[in-house]
Amino acid sequence: MDMSADGSRPNKAVELIIQLSVDRVSQLLSKFIKVGAQISLEKAYVTDLSEATARVNAEDVQSEVIGSIVDVTGDAPFKFLFYADAPACLTLTDLVLQRKVGTSTDFDIYVQSAMQEIGNILASGVCSVFAADFNIRIKPTPPKVAHDFLGTILQEFVMETAAESDQVLIVESRFHIVRYNLRCNMFILPSPGTEGVINKFFLDQI
């Protein structure tokens, strides 16, 4: 698991829940699209606002992507983002709808619906891991689908939480759907205070 530029990284309790969440999401995505999906935890790092901005700017911010953003509310709130480039999302739509790949050619109501459903299922999977392992109440809100440049979506996703705290924990994972060579990305961004909820649970078990 990568550290941030200043050497910060999540503590062991948070690392554990992150890995369990990633494993669960991998299973759900593979089952939903009926095609095996490899997923790896690329990075999990604690960073400040300036570092978060630099990481966003280092991405290919001018690439066109479609993303599903979910706000998770409750005892340990966090933001969830799943995105892929536009052509990959068209293929995902055809897989979700179980129709011939190549049928979807433009961003339309079917693509929007498929991305909403993927975001909902994956965010719900992460919620189930948190809820079961930490005995807390959380639930996802309806996904919001964004079709825009990557930089615009990431700025909105990161900056809203970063504005509430000097330090933010960012979890980044990448999916690879080998059969169709699709590459997708997932971010989990816990709200300030969520890490403390997890830590308190582990301390209470000692």
Which two three-digit tokens encode residue 203?
A: 């301390």
Q: pLDDT tens-digit profile of 38-80?
A: 666 556 666 665 666 566 666 666 688 999 999 999 988 888 9
Nearest one of 82, 94, 87 to 35, comparing CA atoms? 94
Stronger pLDDT, 10 or 147, i.e. the higher one:
147
Beta strands at 167-177 and 182-190: parallel, antiparallel or unpaired: antiparallel
Q: Which residue has the higher pLDDT, 32 or 193?
A: 32
Position with higher pLDDT, 40 vs 85? 85
What pLDDT does 66 receive? 96
- Compare 145 and 168 and report the one with higher pLDDT: 145
Going by pLDDT thresholds of 50, 70 and 90, the confidence category of residue 195 is: low
Average pLDDT estimate for 85-99: 94
* Distances 138 to 27, 170, 175, 183, 205 between C-alpha atoms, Å: 21, 19, 25, 28, 20
Separation of alpha carbons 196 and 198, rounded Å: 5
- 191 confidence band (pLDDT: 50, 70, 90): confident
Task: Give pLDDT, residue 3.
Answer: 39
Mean pLDDT of the 90-116 span: 95
pLDDT digits (tens, 9 = 90+) for 2-19: 434 444 555 565 666 677
- Asked whether the predicted pLDDT for residue 153 surpasses 80, the reply is yes
Task: Look up residue 95 and give its two tokens.
Answer: 């897989």
Q: What is the pLDDT of residue 202?
A: 47
> Which pLDDT does position 55 carry in this prediction?
64
Range 12-205: architecture per CATH: 3-Layer(aba) Sandwich (3.40)
Question: What is the structure's pLDDT at 116?
Answer: 96
pLDDT at 6: 44
> Higher model confidence: residue 148 or residue 201?
148
pLDDT for 133 beyond 80:
no
pTM: 0.80
